[in-house]
């Protein structure tokens, strides 16, 4: 009894419920993906699921095409979002800047499907054709807030005396940007890329809606296979995506910022 009491008094052990929960609902399920990916219907060990992926031109094409779309979306988000973040971080009035940042984030909280259907309506309204252009526009529209916010955060925390020092030492404004500001804002750009690139590949249903079922992305391929009870193949495709996530998150060296900034949007 006394032992039990000291156990609860030590606040370290308060981690335990969450640890147990995470093992059951995060770690074991991930291991299950691995198990399913390397077995067949009967439960025998096999590499056939991966063989099927590499032999299957359609799935392979979707995968490569999705990466291409995701790269274009990410580049678009950086090109449009970086200037916005830069302007916001230079605003003299902090309250005004904060309100604008909130306005940029707000559309994220409207259901992604509703937003996508509204984008389709917008294209209809201006009599623009749906297709690849609509797809990239829709994806940039859906994910640009995720790019602006982290870049704004790092730019705002940046020590402006570096910029002044560079100017004093004779750098022109182009050089100041490329040699000082941009490298210093890299952590923000990297976490922005993380938050745009992966979701673009993995969303399903969005691409179909924006292209009238003409284009599908990798997320849809996975979902279709799981839906058709091809769990092992679906798990193998998920594992390929997990691998991609792991590779991209290796670039994310900014591991402290997540806990420092107090969780996401606020």
Partner 1 sequence: MVKKVLEQVYLWVLLILLYAPIAIIVIYSFTEAKVLGNWTGFSLKLYESLMNTGAHHSLMNAFVNTIAIALIAATVSTLLGSVAAIGIFNLRARSRKAMGFINTIPILNGDIITGISLFLLFVSLGITQGFTTVVLAHITFCTPYVVLSVLPRLKQMNPNLYEAALDLGATPMQALWKVIMPEIRPGMISGFLLALTISIDDFAVTVFTIGNQGLETLSTYIYADARKGGLTPELRPLSALIFVVILVMLIIINRRAGKEKQV
Q: How many CB atoms lie within 10 A of CB 129?
A: 11
DSSP helix, strand, coil percent of the chain (3-state; round to 5): 80, 0, 20
- Asked whether 191 and 110 are in contact (CB, 8 A), the reply is no
| Using rule CB under 8 A, residue 202 touches partner 1 | yes
| Using rule CB under 8 A, residue 22 touches partner 1 | yes
Buried b (16+ CB within 10 A) or exposed e, 197-222: bbbbbbbeebbbbbbeeebbbbbbbb
| Using rule CB under 8 A, residue 55 touches partner 1 | no
> Would you give the binding string for partner 1 spanning residues 147-186, x where CB under 8 A is met?
----------------------------------------
| Using rule CB under 8 A, residue 12 touches partner 1 | yes
Considering the complex, what minimum distance in angstroms separates the CB of residue 109 from partner 1? 5
Three-class SS state of 61 = helix
| Using rule CB under 8 A, residue 187 touches partner 1 | no
In 3D, which of 260, 121, 146, 254 has the Cα closest to residue 203?
A: 146
Beta-carbon-side half-sphere exposure of residue 35 (alpha carbons within 13 Å): 8
Q: Would you call 28 exposed, middle or buried from its count of C-beta atoms within 10 A (0-12, 13-18, 19+)?
A: exposed
| Using rule CB under 8 A, residue 121 touches partner 1 | yes
Q: Between 161 and 259, whose beta carbon lies closer to partner 1? A: 259
Q: Between 41 and 258, whose beta carbon lies closer to partner 1? A: 258
Considering the complex, what minimum distance in angstroms separates the CB of residue 172 from partner 1? 15
- Range in contact with partner 1 (rule: CB under 8 A) among 8-16, 49-57, 68-76, 182-190: 8-16
Q: In this chain, which of 76, 150, 192, 199 binds partner 1, going by CB under 8 A?
A: 199
Backbone angles phi, psi at 39, to 5 degrees: -125, 165
Considering the complex, what minimum distance in angstroms separates the CB of residue 260 from partner 1? 7
Chain residues 209-228 in contact with partner 1, contact rule CB under 8 A: 209, 219, 222-223, 226
Q: Between 25 and 54, whose beta carbon lies closer to partner 1? A: 25
| Using rule CB under 8 A, residue 33 touches partner 1 | yes
- Taking the C-alpha atoms of residue 261 and residue 156, their distance in angstroms, rounded to an integer, is 12
| Using rule CB under 8 A, residue 41 touches partner 1 | no
Q: Between 145 and 188, whose beta carbon lies closer to partner 1? A: 145
Torsion sign, CA atoms 222, 143, 133, 64: negative
Chain residues 77-106 in contact with partner 1, contact rule CB under 8 A: 80, 83-84, 87-88, 90, 95, 98-100, 102-106
């Amino acid at each position: 009894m006394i032992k039990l009491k000291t156990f609860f008094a030590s606040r370290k052990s308060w981690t335990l419920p969450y640890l147990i929960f995470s093992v059951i609902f995060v770690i074991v399920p991930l291991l299950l993906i691995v198990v399913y990916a390397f077995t067949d219907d009967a439960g025998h060990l096999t590499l056939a699921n991966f063989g099927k992926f590499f032999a299957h031109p359609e799935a392979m094409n979707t995968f490569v095409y999705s990466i291409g779309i995701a790269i274009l979306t990410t580049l678009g988000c950086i090109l449009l979002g970086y200037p916005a973040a830069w302007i916001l971080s230079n605003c003299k009035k902090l309250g005004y800047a904060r309100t604008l940042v909130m306005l940029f984030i707000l559309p994220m909280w409207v259901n992604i499907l509703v937003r996508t259907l509204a984008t389709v309506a917008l294209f209809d309204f201006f009599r623009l054709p749906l297709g690849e252009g609509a797809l990239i526009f829709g994806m940039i529209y859906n994910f640009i807030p995720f790019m602006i916010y982290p870049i704004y955060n790092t730019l705002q925390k940046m020590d402006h005396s570096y910029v002044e020092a560079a100017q004093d030492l004779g750098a022109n404004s182009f050089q100041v940007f490329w040699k000082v500001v941009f490298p210093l804002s890299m952590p923000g750009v990297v976490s922005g890329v993380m938050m745009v690139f992966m979701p673009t590949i993995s969303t399903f249903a969005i691409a179909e809606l924006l292209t009238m079922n003409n284009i599908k992305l990798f997320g849809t391929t996975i979902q279709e296979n799981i839906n058709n009870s091809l769990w092992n193949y679906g798990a193998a495709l998920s594992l390929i995506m997990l691998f991609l996530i792991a590779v991209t998150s290796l670039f994310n060296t900014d591991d402290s910022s997540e806990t420092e900034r107090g969780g996401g949007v606020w």
